[in-house]
Amino acid sequence: MATGFFWDERCFWHSGGNYAFMSPVGGLVQPMATGGLPEDPETKRRLKNLLDVTGLLDTLHSQSAPAITEDDLLRVHPASYLENFRSTSTAGGGELGLRTPFGPDGYDIACLSAGLAKEALFATLTGRVDNAYALSRPPGHHCLPDFPNGFCLLANIAVAVEAALAARMVDRIAVLDWDVHHGNGTEAIFYDRDDVLTISIHQERNYPLDSGDFEDRGSGAGEGFNLNVPLPPGAGHAAYIEVMDRLVIPQVQGFQPDAIVVACGFDASGVDPLSRMLAGSDTFRQMTGMTREIADDLCDGRLTLVHEGGYSAAHVPFCGHAVLEALSDSPITAPDPLAPRIAGQQPGPRFQAYCTTLIAEMEAALTS
């Protein structure tokens, strides 16, 4: 099994914004001694470092990638947005949307992040590797064509998918987003299209506050090609696996994609500061295994994961390690020190039955 791992130290140098957690400093909000926005390089760098220390990284095809080209970006983003982003970056950085501050070279780093996603997808599609993981930063799934939000400055996965479609490497791609927040950017970009199936599993009403409803199934030619699975706060391992089994896998099977891309956020973790869910590293490991199985069945195993959110610097490395173990069939493990705590906090039978009822209602609506 050849698994590509695409990363670049420069992506960890993306910075900007004088925030205390999610709030701009000023008034009564005191600047933080350390930190700032939760979208901090340490979560990602510590994942790469853990892979290094266990030796798993040595077994992967580890590499960087060229920055995304302007031609690639223009399939998703208007020229005016790119010009504004580039000139603001050259002037030292700024803020063009909502919670997406960036510093000097922010444009170039975002182009590199999108380039990692494209290269990972292309490496999978051309057979250079069997599957791939892109440690992209800044993330991309919230970014709209002309409005950056939720720490996302360029729509990494959408840009990569459009590049693969334009190159006629594939006709149909499924994008599965298990970041705990709604993949509103990816949804919006492909909402009226039938060649890209978008699926988002997320905590209901987390971010954005006004999107991600189950009823939003796409429009026009895209009707039926978008699926939102909002879950209540507190849903844990069993709910995620049940969603994969009863909702995600049948939808992807019905779509018959030529490749699958996962927007891989780790912020459904039971210790993530930006969510109230109870996934563990085994949840991510198992979801990766299930996605690999459907990719094997449907599209010669062509599976690419692109890193999105995940804000627990202590836990993300172990979740990511579990995903890369599952992706590469590796015997190298990194026992998760938080696994017993998260396992002990899983919902009891009454709440689990409630989750099962919600999932069964969505399943019935999809099959009716």
Q: Which residues bind Zn ion (CB under 5 A)?
A: 179, 181, 265, 267, 309
CB 338 within 8 A of CB 280: yes
Active site residue 181: no
Residue 24 Cβ vs Zn ion, minimum distance, rounded to whole Å: 20
Residue among 130 and 179 whose Cβ is closer to Zn ion = 179
Task: In angstroms, give the least distance from the CB of 55 to Zn ion.
Answer: 29
For CA atoms 231, 234, 239, 244, give the dihedral sign. positive
Residue 105 or 179 having the CB closest to Zn ion: 179
Q: Where are the alpha helices (DSSP H) in the chain?
A: 41-54, 56-59, 70-74, 79-90, 106-125, 156-166, 184-190, 237-243, 249-255, 281-299, 316-328, 339-344, 349-367
252 vs 316, beta carbon nearer Zn ion: 316
* Alpha carbons 102 and 93: distance in angstroms, whole number: 5
CB of 294 to Zn ion, least distance (A): 23
C-beta atoms surrounding 126 within 10 Å = 11
Closest approach of Zn ion to the CB of residue 79, in Å: 28
Question: Which residue is catalytic, options 14, 77, 141, 142?
Answer: 142
Sequence-separated (6 or more) residues with CB below 8 Å from residue 88? 94, 96, 102, 106, 107
DSSP helix/strand/coil, 171: coil
Distance CA 264, CA 178 (A): 6
> Which CB sits closer to Zn ion, 105 or 267?
267
182 neighbors 206 (Cβ within 8 angstroms): yes
Q: Please give the structure tokens belonging to residue 113.
A: 């992040």
| Residue 259: its H or E element | strand 259-264
Residue, CB closest to Zn ion: 309
The smaller minimum CB distance to Zn ion, of residues 234 and 265, is found at: 265
Residue 34 Cβ, how far from Zn ion at the closest point, in Å? 22
Closest CA to 179 of 85, 262, 289: 262
CB of 248 to Zn ion, least distance (A): 18
Residue 206 or 304 with smaller CB distance to Zn ion = 206
Q: Residue 247 in contact with residue 297, Cβ under 8 Å? A: no
**Exposure class string for 84-94: b at 16+ Cβ within 10 A, else e:** ebbebbeeebb
Residues catalogued as catalytic: 142
